Every structure is written in structure tokens, then in C-alpha cells.
């Protein structure tokens, strides 16, 4: 959720930036939905590539990027993605543990930050693939998470822009307001109500899950902002026009998909996390 800073440009973002954000979203969102619908190896491939990008951006943000470290992490994450995509979850986890240790050793002076970045990317990889792999409710669960995160982001942006008011946590993210936080939260409840109205789950459980995912999504956004502020970085990269980098765009989703997988896992097990999230 990236809200405008009222202290600059009269509390309104440059029109060109808003146009770029909208155009990028109009291209990327349908593409992500189409690949999510296809599922299988195609979704696993997209998630693997994105997770590699997240790790590479993390290393750049924390000042630990090197060809050796990025290359090692890329190989390990690719092996993890291929393993879990074809049903070898234990192999993927073992590969991640051993590969993560190797990545940590290569990082030397920045080993804690490198290990954190690898864990961040690897966890996003596994959760994203495992939620979708549920053959019964995987797609609906994944769409629920995506739409809740997008609604939280969009609702927060426009509520923060139109209402303004007190800052949410100015030390970490000076652009975010309480109005934006509540606006995003309300938008996520609308998504949950929409799913229930379409017969995809029960209203009250979906409202509760949507509320949890919205809050977690915003916390993920704040976490990424805290990391960037710690290292004096504004954007994780300039990969996505109007949005910054993958970390900037997916910070909320990473946190939300992890929370979604944990909820689904504790209710219906590893391979039915989607059903655990949506069926109550």
C-alpha cells in the first residue's frame, strides 16, 4: 500500500505516475490471474522467477549483492521451485535448508541480512505454490488472497489521498495514514463479502479471514518500508513502471500468502491449504 505524501506535490501524486501505476496494473493483474488459473508448472515457474527477483532485490537493498551470492541464491530457489512444483515438497524443504546455509556462509559480513532475504523469498515461493496446488479450492483461495491484498492496497491509496489525517507510523513510512489503513481494511471486507455473495465460502468466516489478511498485508508493507528505511533506500528497484520493484509491489502479498497458508495448513494440512482457508 503506497499512499502519497501530503507534504509534497500538494498531497497529490504526479498524474504521470498515477497513469503509469494504472497502466502497469492493467497489464500485470490480468496476466497474474491467467497464470494463477492455469496453475501447475506455469504458476510455479512464475512464482519461482518472482522469488528469485525478490531475493536479488533484497540483497541490493541491504547492500549485500554480489554475483556469487545472487547466483547461489538463484540456483537454490530454482531447485526449490522445481521440486515443489512436481510434488517433492520434502526435497524442496531440504534443498532450501542446505542452500540457505550455503548462501549465509557466502554472505559473510552481511550473513544475517542475506539469510533473512533468502528465508523471505523461499517462504513466499513455497506458500504461493502450495496454496494453489490444492486441487479443489486452490485457485479460489489464491484469488481471495490476491484480491484482498489488491483491495487493501487500492482502498488504502485512495482513502489516504482523499482523507489524509494522522500518520500511521511516520518514523517507518511517512506517507501512510490511519485513514488509508482503515480504507484498505474496509475494502478487504468488501472483497470477502463479494466472495460469500457468489457462494464461495461463508460470510462470517471469510470476513474474519479477510480482516486478518488485510492487517497482515499492511504489516508486510510496513516491514518492507522499515527495511528500506534502515538502509536509506526509496525503491527496491525500478522494474515495474510506477510501482518500483518486486518487493515494493509484493510486500503485502508475501505476508498475506504466508498467513493464508498457515491458516489453511493448520485446518486442512499441507496439501489442502486452499480448502482450509476457504471452507469452514
Q: What percent of the chain has pLDDT over 70?
A: 93
184 found inside a domain: yes
Q: Which of 263, 269, 266 is nearest to 141 (CA)?
A: 263
Structural domain includes residue 124: yes
Q: Which residues contact 18 (CB under 8 A, 6 or more apart)?
A: 242
Other CB atoms within a 10 A radius of the CB of residue 257 amount to 32
Question: pLDDT for 131-167, tens place per residue?
Answer: 999 999 999 999 999 999 999 999 999 999 899 889 9
Q: Is residue 234 predicted with pLDDT exceeding 50? A: yes
Q: What is the pLDDT of residues 71-106, one digit of tens each?
A: 999 999 999 999 999 999 999 999 999 999 999 999
51 contacts 121 by C-beta, under 8 angstroms: yes
What are the distances in angstroms from CA 147 to CA 93, 194, 222, 240, 257? 28, 11, 19, 19, 11
- Write down the pLDDT at residue 9: 39
**1 belongs to a structural domain:** no
Residue 170 lies in a domain: yes
Domain that holds residue 167: 10-278
**CB distance 167 to 177 below 8 Å:** yes
pLDDT of 16: 57
Residue 31, pLDDT score: 94
Residue 2 lies in a domain: no
The grid cell for 206 is: 471469510
Give a yes or no: residue 272 inside a domain.
yes
Place of cell 550473513: 111
Q: Give the number of domains in the chain.
A: 1
User: pLDDT value at position 25?
Assistant: 81
- C-alpha dist (Å) from residue 63 to 107, 126, 231, 265: 11, 26, 8, 35
Would residue 172 count as lying in a domain?
A: yes
3-state secondary structure string, the chain?
A: CCCCCCCCHHHCCCHHHHHHHHHHHHHHHHHHHHHHHHCHHHHHHHHHHHHHHHHHHHHHHCCCCCHHHHHHHHHHHHHHHHHHHCCCHHHHHHHHHHHHHHHHHHHHHHHHHHHHHHHHHHHHHHHHHHHHHCCCCHHHHHHHHHHHHHHHHHHHHHHHHHHCCCEEECCCEEEEEHHHHHHHHHHHHHHHHHHHHCCCCCHHHHHHHHHHHHHHHHHHHHHHHHHHHHCCCCCCCCCECCCECHHHHHHHHHHHHHHHHHHHHHHHCHHHHHHHHHCC
Q: Is residue 50 part of a domain?
A: yes
Amino acid at each position: 500500500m503506497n499512499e502519497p505524501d501530503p507534504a509534497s506535490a500538494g498531497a497529490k501524486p504526479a498524474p504521470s505516475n498515477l497513469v503509469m501505476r494504472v497502466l502497469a496494473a492493467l497489464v500485470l493483474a490480468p496476466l497474474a490471474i491467467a497464470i494463477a488459473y492455469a496453475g501447475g508448472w506455469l504458476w510455479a515457474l512464475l512464482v519461482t522467477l518472482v522469488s528469485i527477483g525478490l531475493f536479488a532485490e533484497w540483497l541490493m537493498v541491504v547492500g549485500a549483492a554480489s554475483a556469487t551470492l545472487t547466483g547461489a541464491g538463484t540456483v537454490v530457489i530454482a531447485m526449490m521451485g522445481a521440486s515443489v512444483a512436481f510434488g517433492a515438497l520434502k526435497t524442496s524443504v531440504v534443498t532450501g535448508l542446505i542452500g540457505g546455509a550455503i548462501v549465509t556462509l557466502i554472505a559473510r559480513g552481511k550473513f544475517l541480512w542475506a539469510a533473512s532475504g533468502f528465508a523471505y523469498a523461499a517462504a513466499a515461493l513455497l506458500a504461493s505454490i502450495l496454496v494453489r496446488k490444492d486441487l479443489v479450492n486452490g485457485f479460489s483461495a489464491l484469488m481471495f488472497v490476491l484480491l484482498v491484498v489488491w483491495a487493501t492496497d487500492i482502498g488504502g491509496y485512495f482513502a489516504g489521498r482523499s482523507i489524509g489525517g494522522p500518520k500511521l507510523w511516520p518514523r517507518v513510512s511517512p506517507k501512510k495514514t490511519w485513514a488509508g489503513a482503515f480504507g484498505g481494511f474496509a475494502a478487504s471486507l468488501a472483497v470477502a463479502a463479494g466472495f460469500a455473495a457468489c457462494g464461495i465460502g461463508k460470510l462470517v468466516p471469510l470476513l474474519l479471514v479477510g480482516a486478518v489478511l488485510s492487517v497482515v498485508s499492511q504489516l508486510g508493507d510496513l516491514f518492507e518500508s522499515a527495511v528500506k528505511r534502515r538502509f536509506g533506500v526509496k525503491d527496491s528497484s525500478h522494474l515495474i513502471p510506477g510501482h518500483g520493484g518486486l518487493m515494493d509491489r509484493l510486500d503485502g502479498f508475501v505476508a498475506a500468502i504466508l498467513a493464508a497458508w498457515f491458516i489453511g495448513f493448520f485446518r486442512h494440512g499441507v496439501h489442502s491449504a486452499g480448502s482450509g482457508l476457504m471452507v469452514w
